[in-house]
A = this chain, B = another copy of it.
Amino acid sequence: MTKQAYPTPVCTIDAVLFRIHDEQLQVALIRRPSDARVYANVLALPGGFVHVDSDQNLNDTLLRNLKEKVALSPAYIAKLEFEGNISRDPEGWSITCPYLCLIDESASCSEQVCWMSVSDFLGESPSINLPFDHQQLIQKAFHRLYHRAKYSTEPNYFFREPFTLSELQTVYEIVLGKPLHKKNFRDRIEESDSVEETGESKIVKRSRAKLYTHKQPQKPHFFSRVLQGALD
């Protein structure tokens, strides 16, 4: 009954990295290396192995992999549900520790990154097939973000730089897939106490809008009531 008695499954992290771009929710994919034992040269979620020498924890593993493969550090990260079984990797038993990562639209990243619309992966027959259980991981990450948009301020972290409330509302509308009442949205954000005015403002379209920043980094507010009503 000592530790080395059993072979341990292969264990990796995977990053489901989302951004808002062109009025779409997009996910980052990268092409697997040509010398990979399975799924060589195929588009997949960025991920990788723990470096037991350099990583102190799985967070380090995630950030290192994103830096190496996508060349950016996310504005927000959160753990998703682990997944481990004999069939997700053709090479045998494996476990993944997947993360949801949010990044702001203007963040620059490696040109290797292929951004695809998340909606391409929500149906039964996606436009491209992803290796492993990566489509399921994207679906789970979206499911989480979608629901959190209804009862938390997690989508706030699609912004790193100051933002206007209208921009923020647009993000929520894209995630939820339906328009929201402006006043209700603003009341809700105010009630959450999740943002504060910078004092600055910017001219957007034909009006002047106040700029806001996060009050708490990486700590969404949770509402006591789920957002029900939305237009249509």
Contact = CB atoms under 8 A, between A and B. Distances in A.
A199 interface: no
Nearest to A58: B84
Contact of A84 (B5, B50, B85, B224): B50
A202 interface: no
Interface stretch (A16-24, A86-94, A175-183): A86-94
Nearest to A91: B3
A228 B224 CA distance: 8
A50 to B, nearest CB: 5
Interface residues of A, number: 40
A225 interface: yes
Contact of A37 (B2, B6, B35): B2
Interface stretch (A7-15, A123-131, A186-194): A7-15
A57 B84 contact: yes
A118 to B, nearest CB: 23
Contacts of A108: none
Interface string A44-62: 0000011110011110010
Given A58-B82, A82-B82, A226-B224, A93 B52 contact: yes
A109 to B, nearest CB: 20
Nearest to A60: B85
A84 to B, nearest CB: 4
A6 B57 contact: no
Contacts of A6: 49-52
A97 to B, nearest CB: 5
B85 A97 contact: no
8 contacts: A6-B49, A6-B51, A52-B92, A55-B86, A56-B86, A58-B84, A79-B81, A79-B82
Interface of A: 1-3, 5-11, 33, 35-37, 49-52, 55-58, 61, 79, 81-87, 91-93, 95, 97, 224-226, 228
Nearest 9 interchain pairs by C-beta? A57-B85, A58-B84, A224-B226, A82-B82, A52-B93, A6-B49, A1-B33, A82-B97, A225-B225
